[in-house]
Structure formats: C-alpha cells, structure tokens
Amino acid sequence: MHASLYASLPEEIASRLGLEKAYRGRQIFEGLHKRGQDFASMTELPAALREKLTAEVPLFTSSLSDTLRDEDGTIKLRIRLADGASVECVLLEADTGRKTACLSTQAGCAMGCAFCKTGALGFRRNLEASEILEQFYHLARGRGTINNIVFMGMGEPLENLEALRKSLAVFTHPLGPALSPRRMTVSTCGSAPGIISLADEGPAVGIAVSLVSADEEKRKALMPAARRWGLAELKEALLYHQEKTGKRLTLEIVLLKGINDGADDILRLREYARGLDVIVNIIPWNPVEGLDFQEPSEAAVQLYYSRLERSGIPAVRRYRRGRKIGGACGQLGEV
C-alpha cells in the first residue's frame, strides 16, 4: 500500500508525484493540512490530477476502529494501522474550550514502567511520521481547531526521533497547522541522549520528564528505563538542555499511594531540582486493571502539593480527564 501524503512536505509531494509545477505540491499540502480536504475537494487542482490522487494515493493508511467519549468531554480514538497494529490517541478539551491532542509515537512501549498500562504491553514497533500525523487528523475531523499537541500517548517519543522530528516539521509548517513549538510538548521517560539531541538539533518544543521519583533505587524499581539513564546522567542532560535553549523544563510525578508521596520524597526532589529551572506536574495515578498500585487520596495529593510549594518548587496539579474511557495518563493500551 502506498503511504499517505501527510508526512510529506510541499517539495516532497511535488517530487513524489512527479509534478512538473512545484506549486502543485504546495497546494496539495495546504489542502491536506490547513483546510482538511480530501483530494476530490481540492478544486484548484486539475480534474485529472484530483482523479489520479483519489484513485492511487490513500488519504489515510490507518482507520478508525473505535471512538470513546467521556462525560468530561474527553475523546479517545482507537486507530488500526495498515499492518494490523493499533494505537490510541486522545483529545482533551479544557473548560476554556482549548483543545489538546495527545498523540502516540510507538505501538506499545519498551520502557516497561510498572504503573503504566502501555508499559505492560511490550513494544511492537515505531510509528511512521505519517501514522503520527494521521492520529491528529482523525482527532481533528469535525472537532474544530486543536490548539496544542502533547506527545504523551503510547511509546517513548525520543526513541523515535526521526519520525517525531518529521511530524513536528509538518505541524509547524506555515502552510499547514502552523503551530508554534511552544504549543507542543514531548514527554520522555528520561532519555538523556534524546534530550541532548533536541537541545543541539531542535526543534525547540517543550520537554516533560517522567521523573516519578528522585530516589535512584525507587525510580529503577518503577521505571526500568532508569537503569539505562540514571538520575545523574539525566540531570546532566537537563542542565545541558536548559543552558542551550533557555527553556523551563517540566518534571512529572505520577503520585502512587504510599510509594513516592512522603516527606522524604519531597526532600529528594528538592535536592534534585537544585540548579534546574523546572515546574513539577503532579499526576495522581490513574487505576489500571491488573496493576498493583493505589491512587492517592485527595488529601494526600493536596499535602504533596503544599509541601512542594513550601519547598520553593513551583508545581501544578494535573486534573483527571478521560478516566472513565481509559484515556487518562498511563491508561492507553491497544496494540
């Protein structure tokens, strides 16, 4: 099956289709990304070209297999890929109406985080850039403007850097969605080489690190990836990124009852954050069937937040959305 054109930049479309007039590539790119058109609707193209594209180039190589809606407005899509693998992606809508697409970069995940449903599935493969982009357009259909993108779905984005960078090049293109890099965030389990690569070669998107714990042994037990990139190596990479880009970093703490929510955890986190310009994102653990953890009480979350604030560490609470449809953080899991 031919790949879709979603991951092809205007000049690549012209080359791939053998178009003599380069501006036709720009017209097709703009039609796909700015106007959300299918080929038949691109009336600025000659009729023969529209017919050829419709007959020979699939608009999508993936298909929508299920749509789940939470009463809080969250939408989760299950998407079947051409080889039979599946991924999930989520559209979150804030009370202000701002929409955020949460996209997957891999089918499954090799990181094996003990508290995450995706981590329990194992790794199938990296997604192509077109498969990442198609998630966005499946989510966008009929749902208005999407304001932000977070690569926080299934998989470790920095283990699929080539496809991630290509999708970002499309998302930021002025003839396409034209999203500012400031409106996009990449979440990582702590890939030190990937963080350094983004600092050196860009793009200048936000970085959110799933730290979970600043206790080395505790983190290794919860996140096998921590055995590859220890806390010291990770901090060196974060300091390098901070110095190179000047951007504030986000540290994500998935709060697990009785495991990483104590006063000593705050002290270790405060020490680890020393020298870093960070904000801590507190994410109460979302229940996953078969995983032996407990979610913290509201009082425990508030106490953790208050302790962080008193320690001088800026923090925000992530309020739960999409839990009833398995669309919240750590709950995605279709392969």
List, by residue number, the catalytic residues. 88, 329
CA distance 314 to 250: 10
Do 252 and 292 meet the contact criterion of CB atoms below 8 Å apart?
A: no
| Euclidean distance between the first and the last CA atom of the chain, given in angstroms as a whole number | 21
CA distance 43 to 99: 30
CA distance 317 to 323: 16
CA distance 286 to 329: 7
Do 91 and 139 meet the contact criterion of CB atoms below 8 Å apart?
A: yes
CA distance 135 to 105: 10
> For tokens 């090049």, what's the residue?
169
Per DSSP (E only), the strands in 27-178 are 63-69, 75-80, 86-93, 99-102, 106-108, 123-126, 148-151
Sign of the CA dihedral running 186, 189, 194, 195: positive
> For tokens 């730290």, what's the residue?
211
Which residues, 6+ apart, have CB-to-CB distance to 42 below 8 Å?
A: 27, 28, 31, 50
